[in-house]
Amino acid sequence: MKTPRPWVVVLLVMAATALLRIHLIGTPLERDEGEYAYAGQLMLQGIPPYKLACNMKLPGTYAAYAVIMAGFGQTIAAIHAGLLLVNAGAILLIYLLGKRLFSVAAGLAACAAYALLSVSPGVLGTQAHATHFVVLAALAGLWLLLRFEDTGRRWTLFASGVLFGVAFLMKQPGILFGVFAAGYLVTLRRWKQLPLFVGGAATPFAITCLALWWAGVFGRFWFWTFTYASRYVSENSLRDGAAALAATFGPILRESGALWALAAIGLWLALRGNRFLLPFLLLCSFAAVSAGLFFRAHYVVLMLPAVALLAGSCVRGRVSAAIFTGALALSLFLQRDVLFRMSPVEVSRELYGMEPFPEAAPVADYIRNRTRAEDLIAVLGSEPEIYFYAHRHSATSYIYVEPLVEPQPFAIQMQDDMIGELERNAPAYVVRFPIVETLSLGAESPPRIFDWWSDYGPKHYRLVGIADIMEDGSSEYRWDQAAEAYRPHSLYHLEVYRRN
């Protein structure tokens, strides 16, 4: 009779991670989460992506958020509960893969490593970024691919391809996991089965394109996710990329360096033993993280499965298990403040500084209480979570201002489009984040949208609200007449304007 102890350990790892996430379940949504939540909210209303809200991300995570909110509700806690389940699924798959590739002990170590690495502040693991959804689909696809290697069943290979296709649909860099899987098939000399895998991988994207064409938004979808996105990822230079790489991985290694060191040892052991599956996975996942040379912290989540499995592969006896346990404990200790002590708002401040994520909800509540369901609002900044919190539609399809002021060939046309939409739709309220103008404008940035507001805003809108973000992390709010007389103490403040 098989002992149930390994599964008890897996369940304990999942339960411990769930407790950490429940403690932080109320952490305010950041702007990517706000975009996904708003787009998912629109989908639940029967409005397709790219009709009222446009951005360069593929719609898989929008649909995932819609599913989560359909089941749990349209709240911060509901979204983070969905992340908890997605993360739990990934932890389980890491165990199964580690067990299949190495041993039960290695699988248990790998799942524990992934659990901690994926919730770490260094990768912004408390937030429901698209990368978590990419990882879940890719790990499920890899598990089925290894099952195909064992059984040779064609439907298993096709289903594996479908899951790798879903990983791409969650976020464009997810395609690198499909490249990994196709490369692995080639190493197995399964040339004849490659078309079946590619057909499965292409199916989710083909169905998505057909659905968006049917909804009448395919043109917008293609422009944002491929035409504009291709320009966006070419903006950074190698020097920019090197600086971003150092800035991102520095904090990660400071808090989890011991686990990454074990992964480096696991990589060396794999290469020495001519076992190239995980080194190839690490290479492809690093390529996914490197897209556009931005190296943003949450992109690193894409590397964590390979890192965790390599670290777990070092566990081959009692001594190595003790070393691994010490590395895990050290990493947990170094992250204790964020994971155990801080409140959700304090965590938001720790991870994102003076970004107005905690203030977005009170501002949205103020607007929601003073508008009708059919009223339109606008954000002259990059806080789409305000639309989600307020349950109000945007008066413009441009939910971020940054793309409009980037040095890219579509910037002026985008600004003209946004100005035209705002003038035609006359939003009842406009929320402005003035610091965006300072942070976004460079030598090559066209300032037309901000110049337009400087002239148009005072003629048609009145200041009725200010959320002032202090250096100590607290906030001061002024509404209605009190807002007009208030002078913000910080450059980081939200302004709320009501149409005359």
pLDDT band at 104 (very low <50, low <70, confident <90, very high): very high
Is residue 437 predicted with pLDDT exceeding 90?
no
Task: Please give the share of the chain, as a percent, with pLDDT higher than 90.
Answer: 87
Distance from C-alpha of 449 to C-alpha of 34, rounded to nearest angstrom: 22
Is residue 3 predicted with pLDDT exceeding 50?
no
Residue 214 makes CB contacts below 8 A (sequence gap 6+) with none
Q: What is the pLDDT of residue 279?
A: 96
Q: What is the pLDDT of residue 406?
A: 84
Say if residues 398 and 417 touch (Cβ distance below 8 Å). Answer: yes
Q: Is 123 exposed, middle or buried (0-12, 13-18, 19+ CB in 10 A)?
A: buried
Distance from C-alpha of 300 to C-alpha of 125, rounded to nearest angstrom: 10
Distance from C-alpha of 258 to C-alpha of 279, rounded to nearest angstrom: 19
Taking alpha carbons only, the member of 40, 135, 148, 44 closest to residue 93 is 135
Distance from C-alpha of 111 to C-alpha of 15, rounded to nearest angstrom: 12
Calculate mean pLDDT across residues 432-439: 80
Q: Classify each residue of 390-426 as buried b or exposed e, where b means 16 or more C-beta atoms within 10 Å of its C-beta.
A: bebbbbbbbbbbebbbbebebbeebbebbbebbeeee
* Mean of all residue pLDDT scores within the chain: 94
Q: Is 46 helix (H, G, I), strand (E, B) or coil?
A: coil
Q: What is the pLDDT of residue 205?
A: 98
In the numeric block, the tokens 């897996």 are attached to 10
Q: Is 321 exposed, middle or buried (0-12, 13-18, 19+ CB in 10 A)?
A: middle
Distance from C-alpha of 205 to C-alpha of 197, rounded to nearest angstrom: 14
Taking alpha carbons only, the member of 54, 98, 483, 108 closest to residue 309 is 98
pLDDT digits (tens, 9 = 90+) for 70-95: 999 999 999 999 999 999 999 999 99
Task: State residue 295 phi and psi, 5-degree precision.
Answer: 50, 45
Q: What is the pLDDT of residue 355?
A: 93
pLDDT digits (tens, 9 = 90+) for 277-291: 999 999 999 999 998
Is residue 127 predicted with pLDDT exceeding 90?
yes
pLDDT digits (tens, 9 = 90+) for 253-285: 999 999 999 999 999 999 998 899 999 999 999
Calculate mean pLDDT across residues 121-148: 97
Say if residues 68 and 80 touch (Cβ distance below 8 Å). Answer: no
Say if residues 468 and 476 touch (Cβ distance below 8 Å). Answer: yes
Lowest model confidence (mean pLDDT) among 103-117, 273-287, 309-323, 395-409: 395-409
How far are the Cα atoms of 48, 203, 291 from residue 220, in angstroms, in the given order?
11, 21, 22
Q: Please tell me which residue, 153 or 447, carries the higher pLDDT value.
A: 153
Q: What is the pLDDT of residue 231?
A: 86
Q: What is the pLDDT of residue 442?
A: 61
Q: What is the pLDDT of residue 188?
A: 86
Per-residue tokens: 177: 């996991």
Q: What is the pLDDT of residue 1?
A: 35
| 3-state helix vs strand vs coil in the chain, percent to 5 | 70, 5, 25
Ramachandran area for residue 493 (φ above 0: left; ψ -120 to 50: alpha; else beta): beta
Task: State residue 395 phi and psi, 5-degree precision.
Answer: -80, -5
Distance from C-alpha of 42 to C-alpha of 21, rounded to nearest angstrom: 26
Per-residue tokens: 453: 């507001």
DSSP symbol at 47: P
Q: What is the pLDDT of residue 189?
A: 84
Q: Give the bridge partners for 477, in sequence order.
A: 467
Q: What is the pLDDT of residue 105?
A: 95
String of DSSP letters for 106-137 = HHHHHHHHHHHHHH-GGGTTTS--HHHHHHHH
Q: What is the pLDDT of residue 95?
A: 98
String of DSSP letters for 438-475 = HHH--TT---HHHHHHHHHHHHHEEEEEEEEE-TTS-E
Q: What is the pLDDT of residue 102?
A: 95
- Cα-based angle 419, 422, 426 (whole degrees, multiple of 5): 150
Lowest model confidence (mean pLDDT) among 2-11, 44-53, 288-297: 2-11
Say if residues 44 and 64 touch (Cβ distance below 8 Å). Answer: no
Calculate mean pLDDT across residues 293-299: 93
Taking alpha carbons only, the member of 106, 17, 15, 116 closest to residue 328 is 116
